[in-house]
Amino acid sequence: MTEAAELPPAPEQAREVFGERFADAVRYAELLAEAGVQRGLIGPREVPRLWERHLLNCAVLSEAVPEGVTVCDVGSGAGLPGIPLALVRSDLNITLLEPLLRRTNFLTEVVELLGLDHVTVVRGRAEEVMGKLPPVHVVTARAVAPLDRLATWGIPLLRPYGEMLALKGDTAEEELKAAATALSKLGAESTSILHVGDGVVDPPSTVVRVEVGESPGGVRFAAKRAKAARTGRTRRRR
């Protein structure tokens, strides 16, 4: 039996969540179950629960994202949560940021196949692209790293008064407490734990929201960002 055959039918909630992009969501699920497994982007044991644990779990993040903003999905991997978010929110301008070539190749294929014109794939690490990519309103992430480390990568990519939305599980509250000092140094002004997808996924998805002030990343990253911007301007003049 092939891995694709193990993919269960889409649940009724998927039709409601993805709406007119439901067929594209099905195609994405098939790509994850086939090429995603073959290329080692997801484990074969994840195929039977792709819909509930992955696609729907990520798509409901849209409830927490404001309208018409720019988004950077840090460590996008196989496109989670960035691709499901893009399927349900055509109003967003989304960058999928991923350092590994085999993953960016897969992401580029998915974006082109599904016609996601509002999505851009960028290969690189967060610390490498700071100052090279325009600051964004929202940074998203899922299963990338503990919150304190994730914040170090993600918060400096934000524009002033932006926010980071990290999909977390049962450890959300514990991680938030452990990261309090690091978040403060990075310019966080408020934090909260949200539960999204009530009635769609059970249990609802847990999201840690970190809102920043005027200096995302704090003083150290402000200087680094300014240096990167100056370097970029110098290169463009040459």
Decide if pLDDT at 230 tops 70: no
> Residue 217's pLDDT is what?
82
> Residue 169's pLDDT is what?
87
Residue found by looking up tokens 């407490």 in the block: 177
Stated pTM of the model: 0.90
At 78, is the secondary structure helix, strand, or coil?
A: coil
Bridge partners (DSSP) of residue 165 are 140, 209
Residue found by looking up tokens 């891995």 in the block: 3
> Residue 131's pLDDT is what?
84
Report the share of the chain in percent with pLDDT over 90.
83
Residue found by looking up tokens 């514990």 in the block: 174
Each residue's pLDDT tens digit, 195-207 = 999 999 999 999 9
Each residue's pLDDT tens digit, 68-127 = 999 999 999 999 999 999 999 999 999 999 999 999 999 999 999 999 999 999 999 999
* Helix boundaries (H) for 41-167: 56-59, 82-88, 101-114, 126-129, 147-154
Parallel, antiparallel, or unpaired for β 158-168 and 205-212? Answer: antiparallel
d(CA 9, CA 111): 22
At 168, is the secondary structure helix, strand, or coil?
A: strand
Parallel, antiparallel, or unpaired for β 136-142 and 70-74? Answer: parallel
Each residue's pLDDT tens digit, 38-58 = 999 999 999 999 999 999 999
* Helix boundaries (H) for 60-213: 82-88, 101-114, 126-129, 147-154, 172-178, 180-185
> Residue 144's pLDDT is what?
83
Average pLDDT score, the chain: 91
Query: Model confidence at 6, in pLDDT bands (50, 70, 90)?
Result: confident
The strand ranges marked E within the chain are 70-74, 93-98, 119-123, 136-142, 158-168, 188-196, 205-212
> Residue 69's pLDDT is what?
98
Q: Is the peptide bond before 81 cis (omega within 30 degrees of 0)?
A: yes
